Amino acid sequence: MSNPNLAVELAGLKLKNPVMPASGCFGFGREYSNYYPLSQLGAVVVKATTLEPRLGNPTPRVTEVTAGMLNAIGLANPGVEKVITQELPWLAKQDVPIIVNVAGSTEREYCRVVEEISNSGYAQAIELNVSCPNVKLGGLTFGADPKVLANLIKKVKKVSAVPLFVKLSPNVTDIQDLAIAAEAAGADGLSLINTLIGMQIDIKTRKPVLANKIGGLSGPAIKPVAVRMVYQVAQVVKIPIIGMGGIYSGIDALEFIMAGASAVMVGTANFTNPMACPKIIKEIADFMAAEGIESLEEIRGCAL
Amino acid sequence: MSNPNLAVELAGLKLKNPVMPASGCFGFGREYSNYYPLSQLGAVVVKATTLEPRLGNPTPRVTEVTAGMLNAIGLANPGVEKVITQELPWLAKQDVPIIVNVAGSTEREYCRVVEEISNSGYAQAIELNVSCPNVKLGGLTFGADPKVLANLIKKVKKVSAVPLFVKLSPNVTDIQDLAIAAEAAGADGLSLINTLIGMQIDIKTRKPVLANKIGGLSGPAIKPVAVRMVYQVAQVVKIPIIGMGGIYSGIDALEFIMAGASAVMVGTANFTNPMACPKIIKEIADFMAAEGIESLEEIRGCAL
Amino acid sequence: MLLDVTGITNLTSNIWELCLSGPFPYQRVQAGQFINILINQGKDHILRRPISIAEVDTNKKSLTIVFRVVGQGTEWLSQRQVGDQLNIIGPLGTGFQLPAKNSKVVVVGGGIGVPPLYQLVKELKQITNDLTIILGFRNQADCFWVERFAKLGQVLVATNDGSFGTKGFVTDLLDTKANYEYLYSCGPRGMLQALKNHCQGINIQGYVSLEERMACGVGACYGCVCSSADRKLHYRICKEGPVFNWEEVAL
Amino acid sequence: MLLDVTGITNLTSNIWELCLSGPFPYQRVQAGQFINILINQGKDHILRRPISIAEVDTNKKSLTIVFRVVGQGTEWLSQRQVGDQLNIIGPLGTGFQLPAKNSKVVVVGGGIGVPPLYQLVKELKQITNDLTIILGFRNQADCFWVERFAKLGQVLVATNDGSFGTKGFVTDLLDTKANYEYLYSCGPRGMLQALKNHCQGINIQGYVSLEERMACGVGACYGCVCSSADRKLHYRICKEGPVFNWEEVAL
Ligand SMILES: Cc1cc2nc3c(=O)[nH]c(=O)nc-3n(C[C@H](O)[C@H](O)[C@H](O)COP(=O)(O)OP(=O)(O)OC[C@H]3O[C@@H](n4cnc5c(N)ncnc54)[C@H](O)[C@@H]3O)c2cc1C
Ligand SMILES: Cc1cc2nc3c(=O)[nH]c(=O)nc-3n(C[C@H](O)[C@H](O)[C@H](O)COP(=O)(O)OP(=O)(O)OC[C@H]3O[C@@H](n4cnc5c(N)ncnc54)[C@H](O)[C@@H]3O)c2cc1C
Ligand SMILES: Cc1cc2nc3c(=O)[nH]c(=O)nc-3n(C[C@H](O)[C@H](O)[C@H](O)COP(=O)(O)O)c2cc1C
Ligand SMILES: Cc1cc2nc3c(=O)[nH]c(=O)nc-3n(C[C@H](O)[C@H](O)[C@H](O)COP(=O)(O)O)c2cc1C
Ligand code: FES
Ligand code: FES
C-alpha cells in the first residue's frame, strides 16, 4: 500500500482527509494560509460566530499550563454579518470545505445565526457550539442538559440546509446521555470534546492568571479524557463523530479514529507548530502505508 | 520570618503541616517509610479499604500518558479486617495521624467499614471515596448525584466517631451542587479531586492499553481542573477543603491553598520522586519565609 | 524555521543577547516585528515565546534578539550555546511606521523595551538627522546597549536611582517644548501611559509597542487583544500590532 | 540517587549496555532485583522505567544494566553519554533465591531476559559447578553477551532461524532427563509458560522473573500485580517479585 486513501465521508460531506483545524484555533483561515495551501485540509472550521460582534473577555485571556493551555477568549468574533461578507468569501476561494462554528446566548440567536450561515451558501456544514466554558461562570446552559440540548437542536435543524454537527462539552457527568439526546434530536454528527474547565493561579500575585479567572483547558493534557469520551459515545450513537483534544501527531489522531471517530480536529497544536495539520495528515498516511491499511473505515472504532 | 508555622487544623484534626500522601498512592505507608520518617507528614492517607478483600482489575492497570498516568487498580485491598489487624497497628506507631480512605458498593458496606475503622481507634479521620472511576464503566454511583451522596453521608456519619472527609469526583457537571449537598449532609470536610476518567489506545495493538479499558487520569495534566474545582467549591462551602491533583512542588500546593484549600494531598508525584512529600513541605516553608507569611491562614483562599 | 545560534552574550544579571542566522526572510523585517520561539522542541512548553527583533542584518543574514529571564522559557533560551538551533516563526506582527523624511524624532525605551528600538533607530538614521534617544533603566547595573545606541545618535539615560545618567524617569528627559514630530516607544505599559500623558496637548505622532500573553502569535486565536481608544474594538497585538499609534489604543 | 554513567555500549541494533557508578548500596543487591530510572528529570515522563540489574561489582562500586529500545524512555536512555547522571531508585524487588550448595542448575534466558541472569550466574558459580546456561535469541544479529556467559559455564544457544547455535527454542535445548534440580529463567511470558509446561512432571524448582507495567515500583500503588497460582491472591511484581517460584504464580 503505497498510496492509502484518506478520504472520509461525514453525514454526506466528502472530505479528502479526516484532518481539520478546530474552531477558535485557526481564525477564519487567513493566517495559516501563509504557511500552506488550505486545500490540503479535510475542511476548515472557523471561529465561533455569533449574531452580534463580540469583543470577548478582558486580557490576559490565554496562559500556558503543563502540557496544555487555558483560554478564556469568550467567543470574540466580528458577528455573523461581517463573517459572511468579509471572511467566508475569501475562504470559499481556497478550495476547501467550510464548517462554521455557531454560538449564541438564546435559542433565537442560535437559530438566526444558523439560518444566515446556511443561507449564505458558504458553509458545507455547521458546528453547533453548545459547550463554550468561557462565556460566564456556570455557563454551558445548552450543553449540560439533554432536554435543553435536544430542543435547541430541533429548532436549529429546521433552519439549516447543511449538515449539523453538535460540539459537546466534556464538563458533564454523562457524555453518553447528551450524545444520545443530540442524535435523537437530529444532529448529523457530533464533535467532541471542547475544553475542560480549568484555572491557574499565579502565586506571586496570588490571583488567577486569567482575567476571567476560569478558562478552557486544551492540549495534550486532555487527550486521555477526549479519547475516552469518543470511545464512550461511539458505543451509543450511529452518527459520525469528530474527535479532538490534544492531537499533535498522526498517532494521536489514530487513537481517536480507533476509538470510533470518523474525523479529527486539531486545535492547540497549530500554535505550537503552524504546520501541525499537514504534518498530521502525512503521519496518518505513513501509518496506513506501513500497516497496509487501505481506508480509514478499516480501523475506525477497532478498539471498541 | 525564618521559621514559618505550617500547622493546619482540619475539622478539629491538628496537622503539623498541610501535606499528606493521597489515597492509593502510598499503600499503607510501609514502602515510603524506607525513604523518610512518616512523622514528617501532615498525615498518612491509606489505600481505599473495603469490607471484603478485593483483587481489583486485571493488568495492565497503569500506563503513562502525557504529563500524567492512567490507573485502573480497581480498589485492590486486603479488606477492612486485615487492614485493621495487619496494616494500621504498624502505621499507628509512626507518630503521624492516620486517615483511612473507605470505599464500598452499597450503603451498608460503606457503613460497616466506616464503623469498624472508627471503632478500631487507629484512624484520626475517615475519607469517604465516592469517586473511584475504576470499579465499573458508568460507576460513580454515589459520587454523581447530590441526593444519593447526601443519604450515604448521613448514614455513615451516624456510625463514625471521627471526622469524615468526603472525596468528590471531578467527573460531574456541577461540583458545587455535590459539595453543597455533602456539607449539608454533615461532611466535616471535602477532598478533591479524584481522577478524571480517561483512556489510552495503543495504535500498534489497536486496543485500549488498560485491561479495564478506562482508567483514572492523575498527575500534572489534571492540575488546572483540580484548582478550578477547589476554587469553585471554596466559594460555596464553609467546611475545610483538601486539594489535590497534579501537585509536584510547593508552588503547586500553594496554588491550591490560594484557591481555598486548607491542606493538600500528593498522589502521582510520589511515583516520580519518592521524596516528593518532604520536598513539597520544604518548598512551602521556603515560600512562606521568603514572602513573610506566618501562617497558611493568611493566604488560604486569597485568590478567591 | 530552524536558525543557528551564532552568539550569546550576557548583558546584565538577567538579560541576554542572542544572535541567530540561517534561512529567514531578512529583507521582509520591519523594525518592531517579533519572532515566536519554540522552547525545547515544544516538549515542556507548548506555547512559543514571542521576542522582538532587536536588529537584523540583511547582508550578514543574521538577526539579534535580547531577552530578560523571567520564567522557564527565557531561562531555557539563556542556556543556548553557539551551534544550537532554534525553531522559530516570523517575522510576525506590524512594526513601526517610519516618519516623513527629516522629521524631528524622539525614541524612548525602557528596560527590556530598549532593544526592539535598535533596528528602528538604525532605519531612522537613514531618514533624519534630528534624532533624540531616551533610555530608562532601574539602575546602572541594569543598563545595557547604551553605547550601541550612542553610536547612532544623541542618547539621554534616566535611572530610577540616578546611578547612571539622570535620576528619574524617561518623562523627565522628554522636553515637551522640543517640537518633536514623532515619538516611538517600547517599554512597560505604565511608562507608555506616562509618556502619552506627558505629551498631552502637544502635536506629536506617538507609536508604542505593546505586549500581551500570546498563544498563536499569528492572529488566529484572538488571545492577545488590546482595546481601541473608544473601547469598541479589539486589535490583535500579534497581527495589527505590536506597534500602534497611541491615539488608536486604550493604554 | 544520582549515579554517573561510566560507559555505554551498543550491543545489537536496539540493545544497549550502560555502566553506572556512584553512591549505591551495592552490597544489598540480590541477583534479579531492578532499579527504577527517572527519564530526563521527569520532564517528559512522570513514571520511572524499571530495568533489571545485570551485574553489580561491589569492589569497583559499579552496576551494569542492559536494555532494549522500545519507546521514548529507553530511547532517551540509549542517548546517555559518559559523564551524564541518572536519577534512580533501588535496588528494588525480591530477586532470585539461591539453590542449595552443589545443586544441578539450569539457567534459561530469552532475548532481553538474558542480562538479568548474569549476576545470578556469577553468584551460582560460587555455589555449584553443575551449571547449564541456555540462551535464546531471534537470530544471530540479536545475540549478545554469549561469550560473557561462556566464561562462567557451558552455554547452549538457540535461535529461531538457526543463524546461531541450534535452530529452535530454548525448550528444545532443555533436556528434561538431565535431572536438573533448579531452573532460573527470565524472558518473554510465553517462553516462561513453555518452560513450565516442558518441565511438567519432573521434580524441579523453577524460578521466573516477571514483568508488568509499573507506576511506583516500590509496592505502594498495586499497579503491577500478578495472580497467585490459584488466582485467589495478587502479588506485587515490584515488591514480592519480580522473581517468583513458578508454582506460586499463574503464568
Ligand atoms: C510582541 C512581544 C514581544 C516581546 N519581546 C520581548 C523581548 O524582546 N525581550 C523580552 O525579554 N521579552 C519580550 N517579550 C516578553 C516575553 O515574551 C516573555 O517574557 C516570555 O514569553 C516569558 O516566557 P517565560 O517562559 O520565560 O516565562 P513564563 O513563566 O511563561 O512567564 C513569566 C512571566 O512572563 C509573562 N509572560 C508570559 N508569557 C508571555 C507572553 N506570551 N507575552 C508577554 N508576557 C508573557 C507573564 O507576565 C509571566 O508572569 C515580548 C512579548 C511580546 C508579546
Ligand atoms: C521488573 C522489570 C525489569 C525490567 N528489566 C528490563 C531490562 O533489564 N531491560 C529492558 O530492556 N527492559 C526491562 N524491563 C522493561 C522496561 O521497563 C520497558 O521496556 C520500559 O519501561 C519501556 O519504556 P519506554 O519508555 O522505552 O517505552 P514505552 O513507550 O513506555 O512503552 C513501550 C512498550 O514497553 C512496554 N512497557 C512500558 N512500560 C513498561 C513497564 N513499566 N514495565 C514493563 N513493560 C513496559 C509496553 O509493553 C510498551 O508497549 C523491565 C520491566 C520490569 C517491570
Ligand atoms: C484559543 C482557543 C479558542 C477556542 N475557541 C473555540 C470556539 O470558538 N468554538 C469552539 O467550539 N471551540 C473553541 N475552542 C475549543 C477547540 O476547538 C477544541 O475543542 C479544544 O481546544 C480541544 O482541542 P485541542 O486540545 O486540539 O486544542 C477553542 C480552543 C482554544 C485553545
Ligand atoms: C495508582 C492510584 C491509585 C489510587 N487509588 C485511590 C484510592 O484507593 N482511593 C482514592 O480515593 N483515590 C485513589 N486515587 C486517586 C488519588 O488519591 C488522587 O485523588 C488522584 O491521583 C489525583 O492526585 P495526583 O494527581 O496527585 O495523583 C488513586 C490514584 C492513583 C494514581
Ligand atoms: S496570539 Fe493568537 S491572535 Fe494574537
Ligand atoms: S508498581 Fe506500584 S505496586 Fe508495583
Q: Is B181 on the interface with A (CB under 8 A)?
A: no
Q: How far is CA C167 from CA A109, C135, C186, in A?
A: 58, 12, 20
Contacts of B68 in chain D (CB under 8 A): 46
Q: Which of A111, A132, A277, A302 is catalytic?
A: A132
Could you state, in order of their start, the residue ranges of all structural domains in chain A?
A: 8-298
CA distance D117 to D52: 9
Choose among C94, C81, C130, C131: nearest CA to C208.
C94
Write down the pLDDT at residue A139: 42
Region A8-298: CATH code: 3.20.20.70
In the predicted model, residues of chain A with pLDDT beneath 50 are 1, 136-139
- Least Cα distance to B194 among B65, B25, B11, B18 occurs for B25
Whether residue D42 and residue B55 make contact (CB cut-off 8 A), yes or no, is: no
B243 touches chain A (CB under 8 A): no
Residue A15, H or E segment: strand A13-15
Contacts of A28 (CB under 8 A, 6+ apart): A46, A47, A83, A87, A88, A90, A91
ipTM exceeding cut-off 0.90 for this assembly: yes
CA of B24 relative to ligand 2 center, distance in Å: 22
To the nearest whole Å, the CA of A63 is away from the closest chain C CA by 7
Marked catalytic residue, from B25, B132, B277, B302: B132
| pLDDT at residue D212 is higher than 90 | yes
Ligand nearest to the CA of D239: 6
Nearest to B73 among D221, D233, D239 (CB): D221
Could you give the C-alpha distances from D1 to A301, C117, D22, D73, in angstroms and in order? 44, 49, 9, 18
> What residues of chain B lie within 8 A of the CB of D42, using their CB?
272-273
- Ramachandran area for residue C208 (φ above 0: left; ψ -120 to 50: alpha; else beta): beta
Query: Residue A116: in which H helix or E strand, if any?
Result: helix A107-120
Whether pLDDT at D193 is above 50: yes
How far is the centre of ligand 1, averaged over its atoms, from the C-alpha of A147 (Å)?
A: 45
In the numeric block, which cell numbers belong to residue A194? 471542547
Show which of residues 26-65 on chain A sit within 8 Å of chain B, judged by CB atoms.
65
Look at residues B56, B25, B68 and name the one whose alpha carbon lies nearest to residue B200: B68
Q: Is the CB of B57 under 6 A from ligand 4?
A: no
B35-87 pLDDT, tens per residue? 999 999 999 999 999 999 999 999 999 999 999 999 999 999 999 999 999 99
Q: Which of D19, D26, D132, D143 lies closest to D83, judged by CA?
A: D19
Specify whether B132 is catalytic.
yes
Counting ligands in written order, which one lies closest to the CA of residue B64?
2
> Span C170-199, mean pLDDT?
93
Convert the pLDDT of each residue in D145-181 to its tens digit. Answer: 999 999 998 999 999 999 999 999 999 888 889 999 9
For ligand 2, is residue D112 a contact (CB within 6 Å)? yes
Enclosing H/E stretch for A271 = helix A269-272
What digits encode the pLDDT tens for the residues A187-203?
A: 999 999 999 999 999 99
Q: Residue B135: its pLDDT value, please?
A: 52
Half-sphere exposure of residue B16: CA atoms within 13 angstroms, side-chain side: 14
Q: Which ligand is nearest to the CA of C70?
A: 1
Give the per-residue pLDDT at B2.
59
**Pocket lining: B270 vs ligand 4, CB cutoff 6 Å:** no
Here the contacts of D176-181 (C-beta below 8 Å, separation 24 or greater) are D176/D202, D178/D104, D178/D106, D178/D132, D179/D104, D180/D104, D180/D105, D180/D106, D180/D132, D180/D204, D181/D99, D181/D100, D181/D103, D181/D104, D181/D105, D181/D205
Determine contact: D210 vs chain B, CB below 8 A.
Answer: no
Mean pLDDT of D55-84: 97
Categorize the per-residue pLDDT at C74 as very low, low, confident or very high, splitting at 50, 70 and 90.
Answer: very high
pLDDT digits (tens, 9 = 90+) for B128-149: 999 766 554 334 578 889 999 9
Residues in B closer than 8 angstroms to D70, CB to CB, are none
**pLDDT of B240-264, one tens digit each?**
999 999 999 999 999 999 999 999 9
Q: Say if the Cβ atoms of B198 and A259 lie within 8 Å.
A: no
Q: What percentage of chain D carries pLDDT values higher than 90?
A: 95
Q: Does A199 touch chain B (CB under 8 A)?
A: yes
User: Residues 48 to 107 of C: which have CB under 8 A from any A CB?
Assistant: 48, 89
Ligand 6: which residues within 6 Å by Cβ? D 214-217, 219-224, 236, 238
Q: A136: Cβ–Cβ under 8 A, 6 or more apart, which residues?
A: none
Contacts B273 to D, Cβ<8 Å: 38, 42
Q: Are residues B280 and B247 in contact, defined by beta-carbon separation less than 8 angstroms?
A: yes
- Could you tell me the pLDDT band of residue B4, with boundaries at 50, 70 and 90? confident
Distance of alpha carbon B130 from alpha carbon B182, whole angstroms: 11
Given a cut of 60, is residue C195 above it in pLDDT?
yes
Phi, psi values for residue B197, rounded to 5°: -85, 130
B269 contacts in chain A (CB < 8 Å): none
In percent, the amount of chain C with pLDDT more than 90 equals 94
The kind and range of the H/E element at B20 are strand B19-21
Is the pLDDT reported for residue B3 higher than 90?
no
Q: What is the pLDDT of residue D198?
A: 93
End-to-end CA distance of chain D: 33
* Ligand 5 atom with least separation from CA of C217: 1
State the DSSP string of B141-197.
TTTS-HHHHHHHHHHHHHT-SS-EEEE--S-SS-HHHHHHHHHHHT-SEEEE--PEE
Q: Map out the domains of chain D with their CATH numbers.
A: 2-92 (2.40.30.10), 105-245 (3.40.50.80)
pLDDT of residue B132: 65
Contact residues on chain A for C226, CB-CB shorter than 8 A: 59
Percent of chain B at pLDDT above 70? 96
pLDDT of residue A134: 55
D71 lines ligand 2 (CB under 6 A): yes
The best mutation among B69, B195, B217 to test binding of ligand 4, ranked by most ligand atoms within 8 Å of the C-beta, falls on B195
**What grid cell was written down for A234?**
461511539
Closest-CA distance, B247 to chain A, in angstroms, reads 12
DSSP string for residues in D53-119: --EEETTTTEEEEEEE--SHHHHHHHT--TT-EEEEEEEESB-PPPPPTT--EEEEEEGGGSTHHHH
Look at residue B143 in the predicted model and tell me its pLDDT: 86
Q: How far apart are CA D90 and CA A149, in angstroms?
A: 54
Contact criterion met (CB < 8 Å) for D216 and B220? no
Name the residue among A63, A220, A271 with its Cβ closest to that of C221.
A271
Evaluate: CB of A48 within 6 angstroms of ligand 3: yes
Give the residue among D48, D57, D47, D45 at the shortest CA–CA distance from D19. D57
- Name beta bridge partners: B218: B69
Pocket perturbation via mutation, ligand 5, pick of C34, C92, C222, C234 by most ligand atoms within 8 A of CB = C222
CB distance B242 to B264 below 8 Å? yes
- Partner residue facing B270 (CB), from D213, D220, D226: D220
Counting ligands in written order, the one closest to the CA of B103 is 4
CA–CA distance, B112 with D220 (Å, rounded to integer): 25
Count of C-beta atoms within a 10 Å radius of residue A290: 10
Q: How far is D213 from chain C (nearest CA, A)?
A: 24
Q: What is the interface size between A and B, counted as CB pairs within 8 Å?
A: 126
C-alpha cell at D139: 537470530
| B11 alpha-carbon distance from chain centroid | 16
